[in-house]
Each structure stands twice: as C-alpha cells, then as structure tokens.
Structure 1
Amino acid sequence: MLLIRRFEEKAGQLYGMGFIGGFCHLYIGQEAVVVGMQMAMKEGDEVVTGYRDHGHMLATGMEARGVMAELTGRRSGYSKGKGGSMHMFSKEKKFFGGHGIVGAQVPIGTGLAFSNVYNKTDAIAITYFGDGAANQGQVYESFNMASLWKLPVVYVIENNRYAMGTSVSRASAETNFAHRGLSFKIPGFQVDGMDVRAVKAAGDLAAEHCRSGEGPIILEMMTYRYRGHSMSDPAKYRTRDEVQKMRSESDPIEQVKKRLTEDHGMSEDEVKAIDKEVRDIVADAADFAQNDPEPDASELWTDIYAEDIPQAAE
C-alpha cells in the first residue's frame, strides 16, 4: 500500500512538471482495496480494471520502472510508451488493463472468466470498476451472462463516492451497489474498503464462492479518493473538511501503521526504514523514466495488425 501511495504522489509531481501528459487518475486513498484483493488471489487469477489503474499494476507485481516509464511515454514502458496512464498490460502478471472507456473492462473481465470455464481451469477473474461505471449498460449485460453461465468472476465496485465530480446520491437511484446484481441472482456485500483486513476477508469469501462453481459475486468496496477525479480536476464539489476527516479517521495506511506499532511492537525507526525503502524504489523509477529514450518513430506502425495468421484450408 505504501508503494502505491508514494508512487502516485511522485506521478502527481511529474505530471505537474510536464513529464507526464494526457490523463492521469491517481489511486491515493484507495490502496487497501487492490492490496487486500491481491492477497486473496492465487497464481493464474486475472485482473482487469478501468483508468485509475496504477495501483492495480503495482499490486500485481508489475515493476515500478516499467509503469512510470509508460506514464512518461518512454520505450521501456509496458506498452512501449504508446499507451500511457490508461492503457498498460502485462500478460506475465495476468493484468489485462487499464481501460479508458467507462465500464468497458466489465465485459472483458466477464470474458476472461468465460475463458477459465472453457479451458477448465480454477482461475477467477477480478473485475474492478467504479460507482460511475456501475450505471453503464454493458455492466448489466455482463451480469446477466455471468449469472446465466455461472462464470467465476468477482465484480469489485470501488465506490469512492464521486463519479468524476458527481456524488453517488445525485447520480444513482440505488446507492447500495452490492444490490445491483440481485435481479440477476448475483449475491453482493458491502466491505470497508479502507481496511485491508476487511478487504482480504471479503476477497477470500468471494474467491471461494467463484472457485466452488457458484458463479459471480459482487463486492462493493466503500472507499475514498483524496485527489480529484484526474489531475485536471480541482475537486471543488466537496469540502476540505470532508477529505481531511477521511484522512484522519480512515486512512488505510495509517490504520496498518497504528496496528504494527501499537499491537505488534514495531518501532518508529522500523516504520521509517520501510518508508525510505519504498521512496528509494519510487525515486529510482522516476529517474529511470525521465532518462529512458522515447520510442522510435517506427513504433507508430507496430502492434497495429496481427501478422502471420494461419490461413484456412481451401
């Protein structure tokens, strides 16, 4: 969680300095969701998410250097510098994006779950999306298919309370997103998405549900983002007091730090040592990304068409 926090803070700095262009959606405040879910996953499980995706990449084990290099449009990035913040993938880590179109990842995650059934594996697909995406039509088409075919997919709704700049209460007739699958016979639960222990426990339950052949399940993670929707959003639709209250009372990292120091005897020096180690990793990634060469112009013509496709027999 600390790596994600420090990485996102550095990404915000680089964006302000002009090293990162385009869109950039930071995950600060929501770290417990993806870390807790990752703790519940097994080798072979897949992950797909939307555009607030840097935390998911790091949680799956993708290298900080490669993620930062992609953010800055460099050739060592995970998409060779051509995808940017919203379009990174890692076949090795079973991370299938990063998708810029709101809700587009939900049918993709459902398709991944179908492939697991088709190939007779026990892998499950963790499909993340937000409270705003939960109102998109393709989400419910996916729910219907997943329930009908009992597909092993965990739909993780990261409810950070604001879809872009609109509060949930103003945009959703049903604000309990755990209930969104009831008409498709998909069970759902609300989870404290600011407590990594609660997320891990819910993730274990959901994973067992899917692996036992019971079909899809919804986990609504009650979480919060501290920054605006993207780097261009001043977030004037909420008060500073609201944000500060969440930081002081519910911060996921501070909760863990408090438990480690008060309940498990970890010293402040040990905590500081971990933070320094993480900061060094992030500083190295930032230095690497700023000095890595940009893609060659010839990259404009790569990864466009599939080559060497076997021809059907005449």
Structure 2
Amino acid sequence: MATKYTKETYLYWYELMQLIRQFELMAEEKYKMEGKIRGFFHAYVGQEAIAAGCMTATRPEDLFITAYRDHGLAIAKGISVNSCMAELYGKATGCAKGKGGSMHFFGKKENFYGGHGIVGAQIGTGAGLAIYKLADAYEMPADVIDGMSAEAVHEGVARAVKRAREGDGPTLLEIKTYRYKGHSISDPQKYRTKEEVEEYKGRDPIHALLNTMYENKLVTEEEIKAINERVDAAVAESVKFAEESPWPDDSEVLKDIYVDQNYPFITD
C-alpha cells in the first residue's frame, strides 16, 4: 500500500504524538498518585493526531489558540515539555510563569495564544488576532475530518489553510475525535461505559500511525525504539526540571494584570 507522505513526516507525527501521550500520562501520575500537580487538569490523551496533523498543514508563524484542553497543542507548537510540566507544577519556570496552570498555557514566541478556561472564550480572542477578516465568516464552507488520523487531519487542515492563504476566507472544520480520559481528572465518567472507551481505543491514533509505517516498511523497530527512548527521557527530564524549579515570587501575583506597570495596587 502506497502512502501519500514521506517517512520523515510519519516519524515526525509519531514522535510528536508519543511525546504528547507520555507527557500527559506522566502528568496524570504526578497529579493522582503523588499530588504534586493540583487544580484543574484536562488530559489530551487520544487526541494527539489533531495536534500532529495540524502542525504539518501549517507554518510555525501561524497563530494558534485553543480551549482548556491545551497541553498537546502547546507541545506541538514548540513549547518545551520542561516549561509545560513546570507550569503544571505551578513553578516560576512554567510557560505562564506558574500562574496559569493546566488551562492557561501560553507561548508568544511559539505563536500559541493560550488555552482558555471558559468554554468558547478562545473564539473571541482568536477573532481578535485577525479582526480584519471578521466579516468573511459568511458563506463559510465546512468539512468533517477523522480526528483519529494524522493523515486525515493534515489533509483537511491543509485544504482550509490553502483556501485562507489564497484569500478565500475561513473554513469551519469539525474534527471528530475521542478523549480517553474524563472531562477533567476528577470526572467519574458515569455518562459512558468502559466498553465504549475500549472500542475507541481500538482506533488509537498512535497505534494506527505506527501500523501504517510498519505496513509500508517506512520504519524499523530500532527506529521506533529510539524515538520511544527519546520521548521517555524528555518526559522524565521535564519532571526533574519542574520539581527542581523555584516557586514564583510573591510579587508575581500582581504582575501581568494591567498594562500600566505602576498601577496603584493596595498591598497592605
């Protein structure tokens, strides 16, 4: 079976998706088993193909904004796993200086304008990033995409990006996926059965990608082993970095609130 993409693309997808998956699983362990991560926590496990497919269909300079389940997209856009893990730990070295937590990752340099804790809040901010295009939403085409396939996500996003770059306006993409974890880490998930979750795990995006690469002889087991070892090392290093990082100084609580750096806060 021939593939549309190069070996390098498949390897990029696989390593990125594995990095996101293992980062999330490690962070969940630090939350549940060790209590080192607190507050809200929304896992991206099962949705990795969306982040991967979007990255190869766009450019680094393209702006991204998302909702509160933001860890995977933040990592995909290039925010280091060290900075992401430190943010979950609430440390000063986090991507939001330890003040954002799980739902508010941010990376200006990486053109990642955040996760947003309020449902739908990112839409208005996203429109503001390109306000001059606001009126182009009329007669907007839509596309439904298999979010469990990095290939399908790439193709759908690439079509939408091509249309936008050519001046034909935005496209509404419905990317159908399935999260394996609850809405948040405290969600008992009584609204779905274990059998349903297992059924969707049978379509796991990472396993599907790996099978495609093996079936088309794009990779060897040694190459995959090397990737997995790099991923494990990166995630382990992110935990070490987060645990050894300093807590934010108390003065940080009053910073990054108003443009006026000399705002007359009452500090007594």
> With structure 2 as the length reference, what TM-score do the two structures score?
0.88
Q: Choose from 17, 42, 46 the match for 1:25.
A: 42
Structure 2 unaligned residues grouped into runs of 5+: 1-16, 263-268
The AA in structure 1 aligned to 2:80 is: E
Cα distance between partner residues in 2 of 1:308 and 1:7: 36
Q: Choose from 246, 250, 266 the match for 2:219.
A: 266
The AA in structure 2 aligned to 1:26 is: A
Query: Post-superposition shift, 1:268?
Result: 2.2
Query: Post-superposition shift, 1:198?
Result: 0.6
- The answer to whether the 8 Å contact 2:60/2:111 transfers is no
Residue pairs, 1:206-217, within 5 angstroms? 206-217=160-171
- The answer to whether the 8 Å contact 2:87/2:101 transfers is yes
Residue pairs, 1:1-314, within 5 angstroms? 1-16=17-32, 17-114=34-131, 146=134, 149-150=135-136, 184-248=138-202, 250-307=203-260
1:47 aligns to what SS in structure 2?
coil
Cα distance between partner residues in 2 of 1:290 and 1:230: 23
Cα distance between partner residues in 1 of 2:60 and 2:218: 32
Structure 1 unaligned residues grouped into runs of 5+: 118-145, 152-183, 310-314
1:143 corresponds to which residue? none
Cα distance between partner residues in 2 of 1:232 and 1:308: 38
What per-residue deviation string (whole Å, max 9, x for no partner) do you get for residues 184-226 of structure 1?
Answer: 4211011011010011011110001111111121111110000
Cα distance between partner residues in 2 of 1:43 and 1:190: 24
Cα distance between partner residues in 1 of 2:70 and 2:169: 25
What per-residue deviation string (whole Å, max 9, x for no partner) do you get for residues 64-113 of structure 1?
Answer: 00011011000100111111111121110111101000000011111112
- The answer to whether the 8 Å contact 1:150/1:213 transfers is no
- The answer to whether the 8 Å contact 2:163/2:169 transfers is yes
Query: Post-superposition shift, 1:38?
Result: 1.4
Give the strand-richer structure, 1 or 2.
1
The aligned length equals: 245
Cα distance between partner residues in 1 of 2:103 and 2:126: 16
The AA in structure 1 aligned to 2:183 is: H
Query: Post-superposition shift, 1:46?
Result: 0.2
Cα distance between partner residues in 2 of 1:267 and 1:234: 40
What per-residue deviation string (whole Å, max 9, x for no partner) do you get for residues 285-305 of structure 1?
Answer: 011111211111121222222
2:64 aligns to what SS in structure 1?
strand
- The answer to whether the 8 Å contact 2:60/2:77 transfers is no
- The answer to whether the 8 Å contact 2:77/2:110 transfers is yes
Asked which structure has the greater RCO (Cα within 8 Å, sep 6+), the reply is 2
Cα distance between partner residues in 1 of 2:218 and 2:90: 43
2:130 aligns to what SS in structure 1?
helix
1:46 aligns to what SS in structure 2?
coil
Root mean square deviation, CA, Å: 1.5
